[in-house]
Amino acid sequence: MSAGKVILALDGMGGDRAPGIVVNGADIARERYPGTTFLLFGDPAKLKPLVDKRKGLAQVLEIVAAEDAVLAEDKPSFALRRRRKSSMWLACETAGQGRADSVVSAGNTGALLAMSMFAMRMIEGTDRPALASFVPTARGESVMLDLGANIECDADNLAQFAVMGSVFAQVLMGLDAPRVGLLNVGSEELKGHEELRQAAAWLRREGVPLSFQGFIEGNDITSGAVDVVVTDGFTGNIALKSIEGTAKLYTGFVRDAFRTSTFAKIGYLFASGALVKMRKRVDPRRYNGGVFLGLDGVCVKSHGGADDVGFAYAIGVAVDMVRYEYKSKLVEGLAKLREVTSAAEAGAALQATGGAT
Amino acid sequence: MSAGKVILALDGMGGDRAPGIVVNGADIARERYPGTTFLLFGDPAKLKPLVDKRKGLAQVLEIVAAEDAVLAEDKPSFALRRRRKSSMWLACETAGQGRADSVVSAGNTGALLAMSMFAMRMIEGTDRPALASFVPTARGESVMLDLGANIECDADNLAQFAVMGSVFAQVLMGLDAPRVGLLNVGSEELKGHEELRQAAAWLRREGVPLSFQGFIEGNDITSGAVDVVVTDGFTGNIALKSIEGTAKLYTGFVRDAFRTSTFAKIGYLFASGALVKMRKRVDPRRYNGGVFLGLDGVCVKSHGGADDVGFAYAIGVAVDMVRYEYKSKLVEGLAKLREVTSAAEAGAALQATGGAT
């Protein structure tokens, strides 16, 4: 895989509106990211007519037949055992074998997590992938992880997530030293869990390859106080969905406000251009593309309900991760973290021994 | 304390803008809740001139001298030991001794939690208070707890919070059978913590005095899927602050949108009435008044930055809790929960014994 040339394995059958959004998303991405080629897995009878409709797409896209598909209701363990002929598995396997640089799927999240782990394995020193995504903030956007892949996390996991997220922000946002914060309850008297305090202590050590800003609170996520928000999968999932729910609530409030009176309706006519711009700013499609970080490969999960444009954004995340060598940068970062934390643990053990004598 | 007559102990010195907001808030509440009288604790030299400015307020308000005040930076343990002459402590003590029905303070949250627990004690069968508050939703508002008083919670705590929240919603929102949900990560494959599953099992048992709807997700908070959202203090604090942060982000986006062009500015002129209405709908002052539930008494925490109107809302919460007998209803609810869960535990123990033979 030469520089600039990226091969993506696309799960053609995953997502509420597959295969249409996958084919059309690839067509949008093809123009946006020249040099990208696609292996599209799925039912050729369904895929070929769609590809043929998009002029020029067939030149950069090859359909690979898959006779089965993972269903939305499949349990991950079932999918992993019984869906070995599915488009999702074949795409993951192809990436795992190095015949593609990345997988992109809008299918069943749990199945994709299981399959990508099994097909690509983890980078040395990480246990399970963390799900990362962008969130809109007052300053632009930030990265948040884990969003639900790891319900119970220890200090080690959190410190690893911090490195994963920092490298991700470097690569995807072009930041030299992304500011990283650990999500906690802020008040002095309401200190967080022990894992958080230990992770913070490690991340504050000299030599840790990131710019750690300490603890942040829930309201700091959307204020953009940091570029990377690190948390366990339980808290991250609930924080992200709370943000999404509130965004929806406010969008509804604004819509309602312009319907209340004739004056308001006239106001809408004048302000509609500005309001459309505002909607673009918070368009959830721009934040599509959750990534499983920590894999020995690149796997991007598009939202199941994504449309063409949303799926193209997810493809863009995969392209950038490959092109800017996310994986090798993460391997470096994790190795440095391991050095620092092992030294800290050895020091603590020595001290404990010293104290006992 | 006869029906309709409510005596409130107000911490005159707590909050960023005390004592002004306390006196003015009491004056607003006086008209809104006839039959309420106030004991105002603090420095008479500061309080008296403010009270005298408000015509008629002195007839329902008595100033009680307190020579000290809890500071925002005081640790709870320090405040509890060393601020026994403070307005906050004297107000809590007065309520604890039954000489007032409730305390309202905009001061240091941790100190107020410690002092109210010490002065009022807990209702039998509860360990620590849970902090509850209203959140805006698409359907109006919901109650959420715990918002930060209990960082680690077991199934027992969560089940108690569910009863506390349900009774609170009955009393404050006038609902017969508030719908109660446990906050979790929803996907099948990403089940929540063990405590959550156990709490859900208990709450599903026959005889539990509430309408349990099962697990809900982060986006369900602001959609109004349930009337009462139950969670541990860590998750609740982060969810609430994520919601507040997003609300602020969107308010900023709307403001920015109307500044982008002359057209948008003209649109604003036409739509301003509707937009003011929208802002009222999400006015954080309406949601002011966090409550420590589980105390053998009523203690309402106003936001530290509250203004007159916000403080009056916090007073309103206290008045309603007293008038509609929150405490005695909670005692009943908790007794029923204990019956059901003890029976369940006895059953489980029997079964375990049976399995071993």
Question: Residues 250..309 of B with a Cβ closer than 8 Å to A: which?
Answer: 250-254, 256-258, 260-261, 263-264, 266-275, 277-278, 281-282
Matching fold, domains A1-121+295-324 and A127-286+325-357: yes
Residue B338 · residue B125 · CB < 8 Å: yes
Pairing relationship of beta strands A179-183 and A211-216 according to DSSP bridges: parallel
What the block records as the tokens of A357 is: 């004598």
- Residue of chain B whose Cα is closest to the Cα of A254: B278
Q: Tally C-beta pairs within 8 A across A and B.
A: 236
Set of chain A residues whose Cβ sits within 8 Å of the Cβ of B250 = 246-247, 250-251, 254, 282
Residue A330 has pLDDT above 70, yes or no: yes
Listed in sequence order, the residues at least 6 apart from A240 whose beta carbon sits closer than 8 Å to its beta carbon are A133, A135, A144, A147, B218
Contact A151 B193 (CB under 8 A): yes
What the block records as the tokens of A161 is: 């997530």
Residue A4 · residue A323 · CB < 8 Å: yes
Fold of A1-121+295-324: Isopropylmalate Dehydrogenase (3.40.718)
CB-based burial label for A3 (10 Å; 0-12, 13-18, 19+): exposed
Q: Distance (Å) from the C-alpha of residue A115 to the closest C-alpha of chain B?
A: 14
Classify domain B135-284 by CATH number.
3.40.718.10
To the nearest whole number, what is the mean pLDDT of chain B? 90
Q: What is the ipTM of this complex?
A: 0.89
Report pLDDT for B156.
Answer: 92
Contact A187 B110 (CB under 8 A): yes
Q: Best mutation site among B131, B220, B238 for testing chain A: the one with the most A CBs within 10 Å?
A: B238
Sheet holding B290-293, edge to edge: B61-65, B36-42, B6-11, B102-105, B298-301, B290-293, B130-137, B140-145, B228-230, B179-183, B211-216
Q: Is A185 on the interface with B (CB under 8 A)?
A: yes
Q: Is A150 on the interface with B (CB under 8 A)?
A: no
Listed in sequence order, the residues at least 6 apart from B344 whose beta carbon sits closer than 8 Å to its beta carbon are B201, B202, B205
Q: Is A23 on the interface with B (CB under 8 A)?
A: no
Q: Which amino acid is at A177?
A: A
Contact B271 A256 (CB under 8 A): no
Q: Best mutation site among B183, B241, B301 for testing chain A: the one with the most A CBs within 10 Å?
A: B241
What the block records as the tokens of B334 is: 């908790």
Could you tell me how far CA A276 lies from the centroid of its own chain?
A: 26
Set of chain B residues whose Cβ sits within 8 Å of the Cβ of A242 = 218-219, 221-222, 239, 242-243, 246
Report pLDDT for B357.
Answer: 38
Categorize the per-residue pLDDT at A1 as very low, low, confident or very high, splitting at 50, 70 and 90.
very low
Classify domain B1-126+294-324 by CATH number.
3.40.718.10
Structure confidence by residue, pLDDT tens digits, B320-347 = 999 999 999 999 999 998 888 887 777 7
Residue B94 · residue B66 · CB < 8 Å: no
Average pLDDT over residues A217-228: 96
Residue A188 has pLDDT above 70, yes or no: no
- Whether omega before A19 lies within 30 degrees of 0, making that bond cis, reads yes
A261 closest CB neighbour out of B152, B253, B273: B273
Q: Best mutation site among A80, A242, A281 for testing chain B: the one with the most B CBs within 10 Å?
A: A242
What DSSP assignment string belongs to A69-94? ---TT--HHHHHHH-TTBHHHHHHHH
Structure confidence by residue, pLDDT tens digits, A109-158 = 999 999 999 999 999 888 889 999 999 999 989 999 999 889 899 999 99
Set of chain A residues whose Cβ sits within 8 Å of the Cβ of B275 = 257, 264
Helix (H) or strand (E) holding B42: strand B36-42
Classify domain A127-286+325-357 by CATH number.
3.40.718.10
A245 closest CB neighbour out of B109, B222, B238: B222
Helix (H) or strand (E) holding A300: strand A298-301
What is the residue extent of each domain of chain B? 1-126+294-324, 135-284
Structure confidence by residue, pLDDT tens digits, A58-76 = 999 999 999 999 999 999 9
Nearest to B301 by CA among B288, B316, B312: B288
Report pLDDT for A283.
Answer: 72
Structure confidence by residue, pLDDT tens digits, B148-159 = 889 899 999 999
What the block records as the tokens of B183 is: 């906050």
Contact B76 A189 (CB under 8 A): yes
Q: Digits of tens for pLDDT over chain B (357 positions)? A: 445 689 999 999 999 999 999 999 999 999 999 999 999 999 999 999 999 999 999 999 999 999 999 999 999 999 999 999 999 999 999 999 999 999 999 999 999 999 999 999 999 888 889 999 999 999 989 999 999 889 899 999 999 999 999 999 999 999 999 999 999 997 444 468 889 999 999 999 988 999 999 999 999 999 999 999 999 999 999 999 999 999 888 888 877 777 777 777 777 777 777 777 777 776 767 777 799 999 999 999 998 889 999 999 999 999 999 999 999 999 999 999 888 888 777 777 777 665 443
Number of CB atoms found within 10 A of residue B238's CB: 29
Number of CB atoms found within 10 A of residue A263's CB: 15
Beta bridge partners of A142: A135
Set of chain A residues whose Cβ sits within 8 Å of the Cβ of B138 = 248-249, 252
Report pLDDT for B276.
Answer: 76
Helix (H) or strand (E) holding B143: strand B140-145
What the block records as the tokens of B89 is: 């402590």
Q: Any idea which residue has 């948008």 for tokens?
A: B264
